[in-house]
Structure 1
Amino acid sequence: MQYDYIIVGAGSGGCTLAGRLADRCPDATIALIEAGPHTDRNLLVNMPTGVAVVVPNKLKTNYGYLTTPQRGLGGRRGYQPRGRGVGGSSAINAMIYTRGHPLDYDEWARMGCEGWAWSDVLPYFRRAEGNERGADAWHGDAGPLTVSDLRFQNPFSKRFVQAAVEAGYKPNSDFNGADQEGVGFYQVTQRDGRRCSVARAYLYGRQRPNLHIITDATVLRVKFNGKHASGVEIVRGGRTEMLEARAEIVLAAGAFNTPQLLMCSGIGPAAHLQSHGIAVLHDAPDVGQNLIDHVDFTINKRVSSIEPTGFSLRGIARMLPQFVTFARHGRGMLSSNVAEAGGFLKSRPTLDRPDLQLHFCAALVDDHNRRMHWGHGYSLHVCVLRPRSRGTVTLASRDARVAPVIDPRFFSDSRDLDLLVEGARIARRILDAPSLALHGGKELYTHAGQSEQELRQTIAGHADTIYHPVATCRMGGDARSVVDPQLRVRGVTGLRIVDASVMPTLIGGNTNSPTVMIGERAAELIGHARSDGQRVAPARPEKTGAATSLL
């Protein structure tokens, strides 16, 4: 099977690139390969509160990875949910739409990523965005990714925002506008009260005969002709197949699986590849290095009110009619993304941008919701936006079907723990403000009288990721960077990477929207390369009818 372009991974970067490239180059055949299933008819994916089920469980749509034992977390193994299915992690995330701070992207440019400063990337954010509030200098309203205000706001989420204002933090109705700092409700990637995954935004419901989506297929390695990427070896239905690419191959498998696939294909740290019996095609020491992730700590508080989502006889009785409301109108409690409100705060007023992020959940979310509690309550998450700790992704096996070894090395730089302690103190000031304090309640693992040492021990015993791993195939202008600013893999030809692994640093916010931006920019880069005379054999589309082929 031959295609002009082969894209590996139907996550946020891959779906964006596939849809845009298919429209931009209608004469080119494109294969989008995904290890998981289609998600367009999955109720738990499309119903926003389904996030409470799909994130904590290893399902067909969630890899449910575990990290190595983390010394900084008291020897615990961290949990790393990652989307597995068309839409990738955008099909299982909390749908929060944030971009990070403009200074984050200016920092990328200073690191040698020419063309990735804030003024460069803002047009791609606006191009992707279909914001229901309308367009302005910061936002777009005509893009495929629908961005909306929540149709349901829990009373406790409103109380959190008011409590934060009472604690001295300013309200902010738009974290993606002129100023990121403050507290308020998040906008979400939802359409008509239902999840707008990147697959729904860019792929589903569109007719593109030149785009073939191949699901339930795992890519084992990239095939090379000399040092030119020429195809991929996949396995599906127990059978191994080869797909050939006439123009380019793009890896978009995410911060864990993209470096894994590079290493399985002979690109990575030479000694590590040789230890697994893999012939070294190109010695790239930084593949799988520089892993950065947002480490997060949660204060959980049980309350007597049944307004927060929870487990009780009264709560269940209250929830049952909500299924009808959601099915008919896309409204009600089931349209909630659970993490409805939050904010971006500075630990010190002299900082040039926020260094802490809050997520408020009107539910008891403990250990990624893997630990269930009877009753009702709420959870206030706080995470370090620009952690200094760096981890790795390495191989457990030369077989790409075996999970990689993920070692975030949380708190290996003690400054991250110091900042999270300060973040927990800020969170407590908000919880102690009148709008929340008057509702009483009892905290699960923390209490107001904790000493700093006790708080540090509690954080080490309960902190974990808030799901934003990046930088394992970092972009840069230096020779050690894995990809150049055009997203081309160094040391070989015909191969690019388009996912969060190329981010040189972790942006100050949720990473789904920035990954979509990368996909938008990649489509333009590849389209320009094609129009500038890249030699590609004439496309020979398979006969697949009028619509996108769903293989």
Structure 2
Amino acid sequence: MAKKPYSNEADYVIVGAGSAGCALAGRLAEAGKQVILIEAGGPDTSIMFKRPGMITMIHSEPKLKKKFDWGYYLSPQEHVNNRRLVATRGKVMGGSGSVNGMIYVRGNKENFDSWEAEGNKGWGYADVLKSYKRMEDWQGPDSELRGKGGPIKVLENPDICDAAKTFIEAGASALGVPVNPDYNGASQDGMHVIQENTSNAIRFSSSRGYLTEQELPTLEVQQRGTVSRVVIEGSRATGVEVIEEGGQRRIVKARTEVILAAGAFGSPQILMLSGIGPAEHLRGHGIDVVADLPVGDNLHDHLFMPMTFAMDNSPHHSSAFYFGKALLKDRFKPGSNFLAHSVFEAGAFLHTSLSQSTAPDMQLFAIPWSYPPFQDDPVRLSPDKRPSLSAFSTLIRPKSRGTVRLASADPLAAPIIDPKLLSEPDDLKVLLEGVEMIRAIMADSAIAKHVKEEYEPGPGYTGDKLRAEVIKRVSTVYHPVGSVRMGVDERAVVDPELKVRGIDGLRVADASIMPTIIGGNTNAPSMMIGDMAGAIVLGTGL
């Protein structure tokens, strides 16, 4: 049976079926709007995407990574030994939300109130809380701060192992912080069990929650097409140009609006290819300037430093044989083992000595696995196979800022991604304090008897030697934001209604619009941005 040809016109054309794009498309289609959603990747129907614990295969198997990832690398990072770190981005329905660790974090109240204080009316905590509550189906206790019945299932992992439990207990004891029953509730601070967007051993990405689980007759999803530019007539966006897999090009027209949701790398790249961006940079690539705006500036990301400890109460082994047995068991009894949940089990939000606000500046993660020590090329990783617990010192309020720029006018060429990691000295200081916090936790009596060895990086790394080792090992958390900044001043690309300045009929709705990164994992906030964008576009309010 011949494939039905794609449509070439709709009320709204949305570019990017990631965490924000799917949420936005779902909201508009639910309201009866004719929507075309364009995704460069393919479907997320494979068990690899459905089963939460199978992300390791996608990240470590070269053929899978090539198929489902954009294959980006950062430019050589001057302050990180000129390393070219991997910049993983999902190229599949659900975007990076289909290949991530599913740690569900809303962000700190202060994060959103600071956005509003900068002039972004409608983006304060009270506003985004309404969106979070609408999109959640929280499986935990009833709370006026949590949502029930929304499209995204969220639960606290009920099956964490003994190593993770003792990590939480020891953290509270060693650092003098509480065990927090809901870090997405009234307070973010303290040790906690990870919350994840899963249900019945199924990943609830925005693709599943907003699209697969809904009946949306006015939505058309077009896959395996790369958007090369926004079509602009005069000062109005009227559609997009799409490059199909075979190289053919076609125009998809938007009767009402074009909305970019291609992420912190994709959205600025498409804008610049369309003549919207820093004028001198565009002219250098032979691109006519339509609007001279600071597109690609303000790029920033979270960073982490991994540490691994040999533990006698950790159940897992980082070996192909162990993983293969789990796959076999899951085949006959789905959801019966660790594949049913996120690999991340325990965590914390903490304050270092550099913290200057009520919001934490340090996040810890713990996983009952050995974590590979070097992240420059994940397809060549070789983690230790002993029972282990890995903990991560994570910088969540980075000061360093960088850029996204075009490498050429070729829309199929990867952009130049330069977040200028650790260019601000305080960022490294925070990471170092996090390492010492982890060591204090692992020395506490609640967990010390189970710790056999710190073998990554090792107890011999202190002082300047530790500083050098952090620079050698630090990795991004794959949370890029800010490159199409929302605001009301000359630094902004979009206004608080997400409209691109000076261009009618064009908005951006994804993590790129964040003025500053939120405190914690960015997947839930990206879905929230898509959900908020739907309310803004429809004019329905929250």
Query: Given residue 289 of structure 2, which amino acid in structure 1 is its aligned partner?
Result: V
| Aligned counterparts of 1:66 and 1:94: Cα–Cα separation in 2 | 20
Match of 2:53 in 1: 49
1:124-160 CA-to-partner distances (Å, cap 9, x unmatched) read 0100001112542110011101101224312211121
Q: Which residue of 121, 130, 136 corresponds with 1:129?
A: 136
* Structure 2: gaps (5+ residues): 1-7
Q: Which residue of 364, 374, 382 corresponds with 2:393?
A: 382
Match of 1:109 in 2: 116
1:329-374 CA-to-partner distances (Å, cap 9, x unmatched) read 4232111311111110011487412110011011112235542134
Q: Displacement, 1:447? A: 2.8
1:384-417 CA-to-partner distances (Å, cap 9, x unmatched) read 1111000110011112211111111111011111
Q: 1:189 and 2:197 equivalent?
A: yes
Q: Displacement, 1:444? A: 3.3
Q: Secondary structure at the match of 2:66?
A: coil
Question: Judging changes above 3 Å, is the alpha-carbon distance between structure 1 residues 290 and 350 closer, same or farther for their aligned structure 2 residues?
Answer: closer
Contact 1:68 1:407 in 2 (8 A): yes
Higher alpha-carbon deviation: 386-395 or 52-61? 52-61
Q: Secondary structure at the match of 2:29?
A: helix
Q: 1:268 and 2:270 equivalent?
A: no
Match of 1:516 in 2: 527
Q: Which residue of 84, 102, 111 corresponds with 2:91?
A: 84
Contact 1:300 1:443 in 2 (8 A): yes
Q: Secondary structure at the match of 2:534?
A: helix
Q: Secondary structure at the match of 2:409?
A: coil
1:280-429 → structure 2 map (5 Å cutoff): 280-284=289-293, 286-303=294-311, 307-311=315-319, 315=322, 320=325, 323-325=328-330, 328-348=333-353, 351-366=357-372, 367-368=374-375, 370=379, 371-376=381-386, 377-429=388-440
Query: Given residue 215 of structure 2, which amino acid in structure 1 is its aligned partner?
Result: Q
Q: Secondary structure at the match of 1:246?
A: strand
| Aligned counterparts of 1:269 and 1:350: Cα–Cα separation in 2 | 33
Contact 2:79 2:420 in 1 (8 A): yes
| Aligned counterparts of 1:448 and 1:231: Cα–Cα separation in 2 | 57
Q: Secondary structure at the match of 1:298?
A: strand
Q: 1:172 and 2:176 equivalent?
A: no
Question: Judging changes above 3 Å, is the alpha-carbon distance between structure 1 residues 71 and 321 closer, same or farther for their aligned structure 2 residues?
Answer: closer
Q: Calculate the TM-score normalised by the size of structure 1.
A: 0.91
Higher alpha-carbon deviation: 440-449 or 304-313? 304-313
Contact 1:355 1:385 in 2 (8 A): yes
Match of 1:219 in 2: 227
* Structure 1: gaps (5+ residues): 532-551
Q: Secondary structure at the match of 1:521?
A: helix
1:211-240 CA-to-partner distances (Å, cap 9, x unmatched) read 000000000100011110001110113211
| Aligned counterparts of 1:350 and 1:269: Cα–Cα separation in 2 | 33
Q: Displacement, 1:78? A: 1.1
Q: Which residue of 60, 71, 77 corresponds with 2:67?
A: 60
| Aligned counterparts of 1:59 and 1:148: Cα–Cα separation in 2 | 31
Q: Displacement, 1:309? A: 3.5
Match of 1:243 in 2: 252
| Aligned counterparts of 1:107 and 1:30: Cα–Cα separation in 2 | 33
Question: Judging changes above 3 Å, is the alpha-carbon distance between structure 1 residues 383 and 220 closer, same or farther for their aligned structure 2 residues?
Answer: same
Match of 2:208 in 1: 200
Identity %: 38
| Aligned counterparts of 1:465 and 1:211: Cα–Cα separation in 2 | 35
Q: Calculate the TM-score normalised by the size of structure 2.
A: 0.93
1:296-321 CA-to-partner distances (Å, cap 9, x unmatched) read 111122346661332286x46xx625
Higher alpha-carbon deviation: 331-340 or 227-236? 331-340
Contact 2:53 2:342 in 1 (8 A): yes
Q: Secondary structure at the match of 2:535?
A: helix
1:10-46 CA-to-partner distances (Å, cap 9, x unmatched) read 001100000010011x1x311000000010x212111
Question: Judging changes above 3 Å, is the alpha-carbon distance between structure 1 residues 197 and 309 closer, same or farther for their aligned structure 2 residues?
Answer: farther
Question: Judging changes above 3 Å, is the alpha-carbon distance between structure 1 residues 116 and 156 closer, same or farther for their aligned structure 2 residues?
Answer: same
Q: Displacement, 1:292? A: 1.0
Question: Judging changes above 3 Å, is the alpha-carbon distance between structure 1 residues 327 and 526 closer, same or farther for their aligned structure 2 residues?
Answer: farther
Query: Given residue 348 of structure 2, which amino acid in structure 1 is its aligned partner?
Result: G
Contact 1:475 1:504 in 2 (8 A): yes
Q: Secondary structure at the match of 1:274?
A: helix
Moved over 6 A (4+): none
Contact 2:461 2:469 in 1 (8 A): no
Contact 2:162 2:313 in 1 (8 A): no
Q: Secondary structure at the match of 2:159?
A: coil
Query: Given residue 47 of structure 1, which amino acid in structure 2 is its aligned partner?
Result: R
Query: Given residue 73 of structure 2, which amino acid in structure 1 is its aligned partner?
Result: L
| Aligned counterparts of 1:157 and 1:52: Cα–Cα separation in 2 | 19
1:513-537 CA-to-partner distances (Å, cap 9, x unmatched) read 11111111111111128x9xxxxxx
| Aligned counterparts of 1:362 and 1:412: Cα–Cα separation in 2 | 32
Q: Displacement, 1:322? A: 6.1
Q: Displacement, 1:73? A: 1.2
Contact 2:200 2:340 in 1 (8 A): no
Q: Which residue of 433, 448, 452 corresponds with 2:444?
A: 433
Q: Which residue of 454, 462, 465 corresponds with 1:451?
A: 462
1:427-479 CA-to-partner distances (Å, cap 9, x unmatched) read 11011123332123333342334331111001000001011110000100113
Question: Judging changes above 3 Å, is the alpha-carbon distance between structure 1 residues 312 and 526 closer, same or farther for their aligned structure 2 residues?
Answer: closer
Query: Given residue 338 of structure 1, which amino acid in structure 2 is its aligned partner?
Result: V
| Aligned counterparts of 2:341 and 2:235: Cα–Cα separation in 1 | 49
Q: Displacement, 1:188? A: 0.4
Match of 2:476 in 1: 465
Query: Given residue 383 of structure 2, which amino acid in structure 1 is its aligned partner?
Result: H
Contact 1:5 1:247 in 2 (8 A): yes
Q: Secondary structure at the match of 2:265?
A: helix
Contact 1:152 1:331 in 2 (8 A): no
Q: Displacement, 1:497? A: 0.4
Question: Judging changes above 3 Å, is the alpha-carbon distance between structure 1 residues 321 and 353 closer, same or farther for their aligned structure 2 residues?
Answer: closer
| Aligned counterparts of 2:332 and 2:527: Cα–Cα separation in 1 | 29
Contact 2:283 2:289 in 1 (8 A): yes
Query: Given residue 335 of structure 1, which amino acid in structure 2 is its aligned partner?
Result: A
Please, what is the CA RMSD of the aligned residues? 1.9
Query: Given residue 39 of structure 2, which amino acid in structure 1 is its aligned partner?
Result: E
1:145-197 CA-to-partner distances (Å, cap 9, x unmatched) read 11012243122111211221221332112110111000111110002121111
| Aligned counterparts of 1:277 and 1:372: Cα–Cα separation in 2 | 44
Query: Given residue 382 of structure 2, which amino acid in structure 1 is its aligned partner?
Result: M
